[in-house]
Structure formats: structure tokens, C-alpha cells
Amino acid sequence: MEGKNIVVTGGLGFIGSHIVDELMASNNVTIIDNLSSGKVENLENPDNDNITLIQGDLNELDLDEILKGKDYVFHLAALASVPESVEKPLYSNYNNLDATLKLLNACKNNNIKKIIFSSSAAIYGENPNIPLKESEPYMPSSPYAVQKAASELYLKSFHESYGLNSVTLRYFNVFGPKQNLNSSYAAVIPNFISALLTGKQPVIYGDGEQTRDFIYVKDIVRANILACESDYNGIVNIASGKGLSVNELYPIIKEVLSSDVEPKYLEERLGDIKHSVADISNQSNINFKVDSSKFKDQLKETIRWFRDNL
Ligand SMILES: NC(=O)c1ccc[n+]([C@@H]2O[C@H](COP(=O)([O-])OP(=O)(O)OC[C@H]3O[C@@H](n4cnc5c(N)ncnc54)[C@H](O)[C@@H]3O)[C@@H](O)[C@H]2O)c1
């Protein structure tokens, strides 16, 4: 992708900043971020001439004005925390659904060529039909998941009603450099790494047989760009398609860190889903494929970042 005018909402966050770092070399990138969890330091080169930073809330800014002359929108801004959405359902709805609808309306008004939306595997809830296909029903069990599901439906309706092109990407467990340690997602990887780096005993909740489908943040960046460049409109799971149990994950991290510390097992956490693995056959619609053989190298890169930044 080159020479395009692009808006990245949430471009100072964990995933959004990686997208900006990639796009800024050859595109004009406008970031909209209210700094609620994002930070300027997440960007590799915040002073790059190709970056315009608009600090503000999607709900308060004049989006019709900001989107004038833009080609594409990557929408990542959200209150990306399930527990916080349970504590503050109205506030998370304001950030995750009201803001999305307002943004979609501005995309329609400005004839944006395509919007790529960051959704979540949370919309599948406790669905036991592993691996999970995009055609499975919505089974949200938190306000956050409801807000993502409703946003997805708004995207679909804006395509049908106004011809606004869009792809919804449902991320599974994302990990990588810049991940917030307070994040409730895939916290298991940063938690294990930070415990081992700071001499603490890592904790496994439950029997450790719960499976997760891990995906590296740079693969998420690739998926966003491929989805934007493709002719596809619809929903795609973004995951590796491989379930890894927490008991299988721990020895890999331990080995990479040359540690011999054993984990401590605590009682299962309320609301933890037992298995989460994606069906990835739909990824071919956007020419996306994950190379699972790189998992260890990706972990090493993540560990290097935590070592330098903890
Ligand atoms: N990290 C994961 O594992 C994961 C998994 C599934 C889906 N997602 C989704 O991916 C997206 C990015 O997640 P992340 O992990 O980078 O989260 P993050 O919290 O690091 O990034 C979100 C960014 O949005 C900004 N923001 C929040 N509300 C805003 C508003 N109203 N107006 C303007 N800016 C606002 C924050 O300041 C932050 O920079 C989110 O939509 C999240 O729901 C993330």
C-alpha cells in the first residue's frame, strides 16, 4: 500500500501503533486517539512527516471534517477490556459502539473506500464448536462482546444500505512487543514473561489444559493491510488455527528464557473460556496465512522487548 491517505483510530495503542509504524513509510497516516490507554511512545517515529496525530475522543471530534479526502480507515480504538466493560457497561458502550457508529457514518459521508474493523473472538463466547467458524452464531457473554457483535452488524448494514466496503477481523489471542501488561487478553504470555524476568513464580489458573489460539501482532498488521487491499467484504478470523494449552505454552517460554522455575497452579478464574481455537479457512479471501513455525522466534522478539522495557 503506497501513497494513500489513511486514518488509524486507536493508533497509539498496542496493535494500532504497529499498524502506523508499518504504514507511515509510504502513506499519509492520521491517528485519532484519546490516549486513554495508548501513548505516543508506542510509535517508532512519532515525528515522521507522514504522521498527523489528532488527540481526542472519536465521540467528540468532527469526524466528517477529519475524514475528508481520506482513502481508508483502520478502526482499532476501543476500550479493549472485558472486565472493564463488565464494571462500566455504559462507558464501554460509548467508546466501543457509539464511537463506531459515528465513525461509520462519517465514512459513508466521505465515500471512504474501505474500513477495516478490529473485532474479537469474544463474540463467540462459550461456543463449544471448535474450531470456530465465522458462520457460528453470536454468543456474547460480556458487554464488550455485545459491543463488538453490534459493531460488526453495523458494518454489514452500512455495506448493504450505503455500499460502504468493510472487513471485520476477529482477532484471537494477540501477543507481541508493546502489549500492555494490564490487558485482559492473552495476558498469559506477557504475564509469564514478566514473572520470569522479575524473578516471580508464574501463575496458571485452573489445570492449565485450557487452549488458546495465539497470533503475533505483526501478523495482525499484515492481515489488516491485506484485508484493505483485497476485494473482500465480510468477516475473517485472524488466528493461527492451532490450539496451544497453557501447559504446552509454559515450557516453551521457560526454555526461551533458560529458566527452571515451575509455575504455581491457582483456582480457575470465573468466566475463563476453556477452549478457543479458530477455523482459518476464510483467511484465503484476503490472501492471509500464518506461518506457525515462527512462533518461537516471535516469542523471542516479544521477550527481547519486555526485557528492554519492563
Ligand atoms: N489485544 C488483543 O488481544 C485484542 C484481541 C481482540 C480484539 N482486539 C481489538 O483490537 C483493537 C486494538 O486493541 P489493543 O490491544 O491495541 O488495545 P489498546 O487499548 O492498546 O488500544 C486501543 C486504543 O484506542 C484508544 N481509544 C480508546 N477509546 C477511544 C476513543 N473513544 N476515541 C479515541 N481513541 C480511543 C486508546 O487510547 C488506545 O490507544 C481494539 O478494538 C480491541 O478491542 C484486541
Residues 6+ apart with CB under 8 A from 76: 8, 9, 10, 11, 13, 15, 16, 19, 118
**For residue range 185-196, what is the model confidence (pLDDT) as tens digits?**
447 999 999 999
In the chain, DSSP finds a helix count (H) and a strand count (E) of 10, 13
Dump strand ranges (E) for the chain. 5-9, 28-33, 51-55, 72-75, 114-120, 166-171, 173-175, 203-205, 211-212, 214-216, 234-238, 244-245, 264-266
- Say which CATH number the domain at 302 has: 3.90.25.10
Give the mean pLDDT of the chain.
95
- Of the candidates 68, 82, 66, the residue with the CA atom closest to the CA atom of residue 9: 66
Q: Does the beta carbon of 14 sit less than 6 angstroms from any atom of ligand 1?
A: yes
Same domain, 141 and 254: no
CA–centroid distance, 217 to ligand 1, in Å, is 13
Q: What is the pLDDT of residue 187?
A: 79
Q: Which entry of 72, 124, 144, 216 is annotated as an active-site residue?
A: 144
Q: What is the pLDDT of residue 83?
A: 87
Percent residues over pLDDT 70 in the chain:
98
Query: Could you tell me if 29 and 134 lie in one domain?
Result: yes
Note the pLDDT of residue 273.
82
Q: Could you tell me if the CB of 32 is within 6 A of ligand 1?
A: yes
Residue ID of nearest Cα to ligand 1 atom 11: 76
Grid coordinates belonging to 199: 524473578
CA of 35 to the centre of ligand 1 (A): 10
The stretch 91-108 carries a mean pLDDT of 98
Is 115 touching ligand 1 by the criterion CB < 6 Å?
no
Start-end of H helices in 206-280:
217-229, 246-256
User: Has 144 been annotated as catalytic?
Assistant: yes
Count of structural domains, the chain: 2
Grid-cell match 512487543, residue found? 177
Nearest ligand 1 atom to alpha carbon 57: 32
Q: Is the confidence at residue 204, as pLDDT, over 70? A: yes
What is the domain extent for residue 31? 5-174+214-239
Which pLDDT score is estimated for 183? 56
Name the band, by pLDDT with cuts 50, 70 and 90, for residue 182: low
Q: pLDDT of 122-145, one tens digit each?
A: 999 999 999 999 999 999 999 999
User: Which string of DSSP letters, residue by residue, matches 30-57?
Assistant: EEEE--SS--GGGSS-TT-TTEEEEES-
How many Å lie between the centroid of ligand 1 and the Cα of residue 16?
Answer: 7
The predicted model scores a pTM of 0.97
150 in the same domain as 201: no
CB-based contact 42:178 (threshold 8 Å): yes
Mutate to test the pocket of ligand 1, among 9, 17, 33 (most ligand atoms within 8 A of CB): 33
pLDDT at 272 over 80: no
CATH number, domain of 168, equals 3.40.50.720
